Amino acid sequence: MVAGGFGVGKTTFVGAVSEINPLRTEAVMTSASAGIDDLTHTGDKTTTTVAMDFGRITLDQDLILYLFGTPGQDRFWFMWDDLVRGAIGAVVLVDTRRLADCFPAVDYFENSGLPFVVALNGFEGHQPYNPEEVREALQIGPDTPIITTDARHRADAKSALITLVEHALMARLR
Amino acid sequence: MATPPGGRPYDGAHQPPGDHSQNRFNFPSAPSRQGAQQPYQQPQPPYDPSYGQPQQPRIQPVQRRAPESAPPTGTHNPLVRPYAMTGGRTRPRYQLAIEALVSTTADPSRMQGQLPEHQRICRLCIEIKSVAEISALLTIPLGVARILVADLAEAGLVAIHQPGGDESAGGQPAVTLLERVLSGLRKL
């Protein structure tokens, strides 16, 4: 999973490392029944579309990794619950100029127990804060990796994914 | 999320927790259940009076489309509401992971007479695709794609490979899978 606040670069990150152009899948919900999922008798209510971008990496003849960007609107938690099942982990992208935007994602993954890494996306190449300053500000424990990245670059995105899977593996073996 | 296509083929054992009926899919048109349970025999009022009564599953699969119902060509009309394709059902008969892989097993002659949406999925999945890709490439909502794919699996027209999780670790990816993903990423 690739999570983070609105406009933080989730789809850019997915696109940088995916072998296909990011695709968009949509879930149709009524605003009144979000999370309940029964649209049978609600034809008159306003519907909301939750969009989710994703990419694919074929790692081996019989192994495909899917990268799902979480819906930008944090209130659609039901989509997150759907994604967390079977997920290896999450990259939480952070724009340090808007640190608070990542709080919901960090809280969500801390509560769900899904391994995650925090990746500081340096806009225009700037990294105004170092990872330890961000760790302090976000009150993130010492076990969670915090890295810097540039979501536009394949090598950076790949490296963030490797850090995440290493972290998930360590968490499983611990 | 990683889905090994050879991982765990659909084996019918994924019934929803709490469903202890003998009918694994709670599928009223299954032949073995004829006469035993006909939840939709009575016409339902628009709002189910049993709503809120926990002993009844609130959402139940409906009967397959009756012959006199709308012709299937109507599903190409963009004005048709998404869930019309599914006969109003909002839940598939079994829970498909968003990254579950789907591959067509039927030869093209068997697709005659299938719903157009079913045919499109079969044509798309000649090359293996995830449920998410089916939804995105055919621009149908994810929930609808799940139901249509489940229909096709039920009819034996597609094979589904659900992602393999480690049952002893609450469905988390197995350590061997993580190791394979890691080595695959490093080789990119």
Task: Give the pLDDT confidence of A6-60 residue by residue, as tens digits.
Answer: 889 999 999 999 999 999 988 766 554 444 444 444 444 455 667 889 999 999 9
The tokens 């049993």 sit on which residue?
B50
Provide the pLDDT for residue A9.
92
Chain A residue with the nearest C-alpha to that of B88 = A40
Rounded average pLDDT over B12-21: 44
**Predicted-complex ipTM score:** 0.87
Give the pTM.
0.71
Tens digits of residue pLDDT in B98-148: 999 999 988 878 888 888 999 999 999 999 999 999 999 999 999 899 999
B57-60, long-range: CB < 8 A, 24+ apart? B57/B26, B58/A38, B59/A37, B59/A38, B59/A40, B59/B89, B59/B90, B59/B91, B60/B26, B60/B28
Q: Please indicate if any CB of chain A lies within 8 Å of the CB of B9.
A: no
The answer to whether the Cβ–Cβ distance between A64 and B130 falls below 8 Å is yes
Mutation pick from A67, A85, A109, A112 vs chain B, by most beta carbons of B within 10 Å, is A85
Is residue B165 a contact partner of residue B173, using CB atoms and an 8 Å limit?
A: yes
pLDDT confidence bin for B168, thresholds 50/70/90 = low
Per-residue pLDDT tens over the stretch B23-50: 444 334 334 434 444 444 444 444 544 4
Higher-pLDDT residue of B87 and B106 is B106
Question: CB distance from A124 to chain B under 8 Å?
Answer: no
